[in-house]
Structure 1
Amino acid sequence: MSAHTFNRRAATRIGAVSILLAILASLAGWFAAQESAEEATVDLAIEESQRLLRHFDALHMDTEAGRAHAATAAQAIVGGLFDIAEIYDAAGRKLAEAATEVGEAIEAQLPSHARPLQGEAVYDSQTLPDGRWALRVFVPLATLEEPGEGFFEGVRVIPAWQQDQILHGALATAGLAAFAALLCGVAIYPVVVHLSGENERKAHEVLDSHIAMMEALGRAIAKRDSDTGIHNYRVAWTAARIAERMGFQKTAMQSLIAGSFLHDVGKIGIPDTILLKPGRLDEDEMAIMRTHVTLGEEIVKGMGWLDGAHEVVAAHHEKWDGSGYPRGLAGSQIPLAARIFAVADVFDALGSRRPYKEPMSFGQARAILERDTGRHFDPAVMAVFREIAPQIHATLSQCDEEELRRLLTGAVRHHFDV
């Protein structure tokens, strides 16, 4: 993924998250502001009702004078913060009631209520059937300083001007919360881009070290086998081209490339007298040569990122008909990566100069691969290779080792997402 593509994708995702957070924050701010305004109104109503009840000496209702004071207090309370004022004794009997015109109009719309808990002021917010918003307050007629009995019920219909005030306050709070969320997104974006750049740089460094390690191992055996590492580049690139046509991606492709490049790493442990013998190997020498597969498995096993190379290293000499080595696997028992590599390896070996043979022409090499399809090679892999073989040959025939290194490095960077 290019830096431009990542930056665009990061901006899109951060923007989407910021907008979502802005919406959620604005909703939360909206409800919080409304709740705060509502509670402030109720607190003021409770405080004012208690003040007036004390002023009119309506906290004690066990006397005729107290009940008269309750009626006076109820009349005094309505018209200010309340549209309905009702005072009840300890048994829940209504002692006094007063209401404004608004209160009288909405009283029938109010639901009935149970007696509130003694000693605890409570309220509820209600949307009336006619659409108006009312706050209902229950205030106990007792305090720690002045124990009393009974309770006060007050209803306030929130006027339009106060609703507008609450609405504007809620909108302001919601807008501020949304702006803060969006501002956070704007602030986070350059940090993410910077960290991404650092990660990409580190990824390049790690990949370069992996390629260098892979090349070092490949060169170590190539110098002993054919005095050049070009074979490793050719077969790894050729195998990658076939695998691309067969849908290999990500980890599968990475493992194939590493395994193809290091397929003969076990030859490090083969004596020079056998490895560099100009003629054909006898039976005993061939048995020793074949141990390079097991040696290669031991080398790549447990090497972290090279673990994926194991399939090709372990099975690149198996054959489709089961006549290969070291395990005699057949057909789909052979890992697909190893079946792909077998075609690339034999094709390159036939066209390359070795201590014991001259290189074959493209036509001769292709004829041998066709002859051995179904015996040595997977027919499905050969069907893919057959289509691209001329192009592969044309490209490889014009490349020296440095050009091949650039070709393989480009494939590695592409398939390792760097």
Structure 2
Amino acid sequence: MNPFKKRTAILIAGVSTLLASISSPIAWYVARENAEEGIVSLAMEESGRLLHHHHAIKLGGADAVGRAKVAANTIVGGLFDIAEIYDENGAKLAESMTAEGEAIEPSLTGHGKPDYRATSYESLKLAGDVWVLRVFIPLREKTGDVSGPITGYFEGVRVVPKWQQEAIFADALTVALMACLASLLCGAAIYPVVVHLSTDNERKAREVLDSHISMMESLGRAIAKRDSDTGEHNYRVAWISARIAEEMGLTGHAMQALIAGSFLHDVGKIGIPDAILLKPGKLDEEEFTIMRTHVALGEEIVTGMGWLDDANAVVAAHHEKWDGSGYPRQLKGEAIPLAARIFAVADVFDALSSKRPYKQPMAFEKVMDILEKDTGSHFDAAVMAVFRKLAVDISQRLENSSESHARKLLEECVRQHFEMQ
């Protein structure tokens, strides 16, 4: 499993587990509440039916107590273990209870005369893990007429039997497990979709990146067509710069910008006349002034080209020097972008170490002597300190290398830092 798929699987599994841990208790609570309300609703409906049957709704007249007692005795033992019936003024007319009701009755909190207008209930846990439901019902002549006058009150207590508690527990557990399973299955179903979309997005991003790199190489080849020394040099300096930057901890966007800028540092030479660019001898002052314009021309080429905008730091400052004696802006010290300071070391090292039509490669020790001599004036001492540790290995890997070898080294670097594995 590749790192992305592994991270995605862990993330989705974590989210699914979190949702399961949240939804399961909620589902448990809702299922238990629904079961509780179902018991209460059934008890209320049945008690109302019995009260109407025994004419214990309108509790007036001489036989009101008798009717209330009959109704209370009938109700108790079915859905209720305690039944109390009050007249419209809150005076108790009848009370009846089972043995279970008598056992828990002392544990129930008392209250004053009933005067409530809405039906309600409470769920209580008593000592010994006894679960009771206590309902309070205002009586009216017409069932469901909440605006009608109250003719009495009924209060009932049900001791929920163990078998019913177990059934409610089992049902709530089933609902909770289903919610948990649904969360986990949802995560399992989402995973392949996310991976597919990500893979497709990664493929498209790679295509865009490939086109960007192809654009960079095309510009590099265009420069090489005009200056034969430039092609292989572009690959080498971009790779050397990346090696130094890796040691300095550059990653991601900063590394990509450095590679692109190093490869395209001389892109502005496309605009330099052949008479100057290809002149075999030394340039005069006027010609050198024109040659220097390749920096500004390079900036114009890469600026506004989207991804290649990132190359601007090196393109614009690759001829600046640490002591401020460079061009075109005479930037000094850390005012020079780090990418350009890294590139400066790589550029001079490769120029001195490489064979050119007009010169032989300089010995490694001689090259290093020149670099050390110019540290603090041309080069950043911090960059040189890093390069010094890598110089022997870099020299050995590039010794007698061809353009194809240099290109292969850079391609490996690009695959690593542009995430094209």
Task: State how 1:333-344 maps to structure 2 within 5 Å.
Answer: 333-344=335-346
Tell me how far 1:358 sits from its aligned partner.
4.1
**Secondary structure of 2:300's aligned partner:** helix
Tell me how far 1:355 sits from its aligned partner.
5.6
Judge conservation of contact 1:279–1:356 (CA < 8 Å) in 2.
Answer: no
Q: Counterpart in 2 of 1:174? A: 176
**Secondary structure of 2:129's aligned partner:** coil
Task: State how 1:82-101 maps to structure 2 within 5 Å.
Answer: 82-101=80-99
Question: Given the two structures, how large is their TM-score scaled by the length of structure 1?
Answer: 0.93
Worse-superposed segment, 246-255 or 5-14 = 5-14
Tell me how far 1:278 sits from its aligned partner.
1.4
Aligned residue identity for 2:313: E
Q: Closer, same or farther in 2 for the Cα pair 1:305/1:112, shift >3 Å?
A: farther
Provide, for residues 231-258 of structure 1, a one-character-per-residue CA deviation record: whole Å limited to 9, x for no partner.
Answer: 1110000000000000101111111111
Q: Counterpart in 1 of 2:199? A: 197
Q: Counterpart in 2 of 1:213? A: 215
Aligned CA-pair RMSD: 2.0
Q: Counterpart in 1 of 2:271? A: 269
**Runs of 5+ consecutive residues of structure 2 not aligned to the other structure:** none
Judge conservation of contact 2:321–2:378 (CA < 8 Å) in 1.
Answer: yes
Q: Give the counterpart of 1:347 among 342, 346, 349.
A: 349
Q: Closer, same or farther in 2 for the Cα pair 1:176/1:357, shift >3 Å?
A: same
Aligned residue identity for 2:349: F
Partners of 1:415 and 1:306 lie apart in 2 by 16
Q: Counterpart in 2 of 1:384? A: 386
Judge conservation of contact 1:116–1:138 (CA < 8 Å) in 2.
Answer: no
Q: Counterpart in 1 of 2:156? A: 154
Q: Closer, same or farther in 2 for the Cα pair 1:252/1:46, shift >3 Å?
A: same
Partners of 1:389 and 1:8 lie apart in 2 by 38
Partners of 1:388 and 1:116 lie apart in 2 by 92
Identity %: 62
Task: State how 1:73-112 maps to structure 2 within 5 Å.
Answer: 73-112=71-110
Tell me how far 1:330 sits from its aligned partner.
1.1
Partners of 2:398 and 2:317 lie apart in 1 by 25
Q: Counterpart in 1 of 2:410? A: 408
Partners of 1:164 and 1:385 lie apart in 2 by 75
Aligned residue identity for 2:198: S
**Secondary structure of 1:136's aligned partner:** strand
Q: Give the counterpart of 1:52 among 50, 53, 75.
A: 50
Partners of 1:143 and 1:378 lie apart in 2 by 98
**Secondary structure of 2:85's aligned partner:** strand
Q: Counterpart in 1 of 2:375? A: 373
**Secondary structure of 2:124's aligned partner:** strand
**Runs of 5+ consecutive residues of structure 1 not aligned to the other structure:** none
Tell me how far 1:10 sits from its aligned partner.
2.3
Q: How many residue pairs are counted as aligned between the two chains?
A: 415
Tell me how far 1:143 sits from its aligned partner.
5.0
Tell me how far 1:111 sits from its aligned partner.
2.9
Q: Give the counterpart of 2:251 among 233, 243, 249.
A: 249
Tell me how far 1:382 sits from its aligned partner.
0.6
Q: Closer, same or farther in 2 for the Cα pair 1:116/1:124, shift >3 Å?
A: farther
Worse-superposed segment, 356-365 or 82-91 = 356-365
Tell me how far 1:335 sits from its aligned partner.
1.1
**Secondary structure of 1:64's aligned partner:** coil
Tell me how far 1:228 sits from its aligned partner.
5.0
Tell me how far 1:302 sits from its aligned partner.
2.3
Worse-superposed segment, 266-275 or 233-242 = 266-275
Partners of 1:274 and 1:109 lie apart in 2 by 107
Question: Given the two structures, how large is their TM-score scaled by the length of structure 2?
Answer: 0.93
Q: Counterpart in 1 of 2:311? A: 309
**Secondary structure of 1:163's aligned partner:** helix
Judge conservation of contact 2:57–2:141 (CA < 8 Å) in 1.
Answer: no
Q: Counterpart in 2 of 1:12? A: 10
Q: Closer, same or farther in 2 for the Cα pair 1:172/1:371, shift >3 Å?
A: same
Q: Counterpart in 2 of 1:141? A: 139
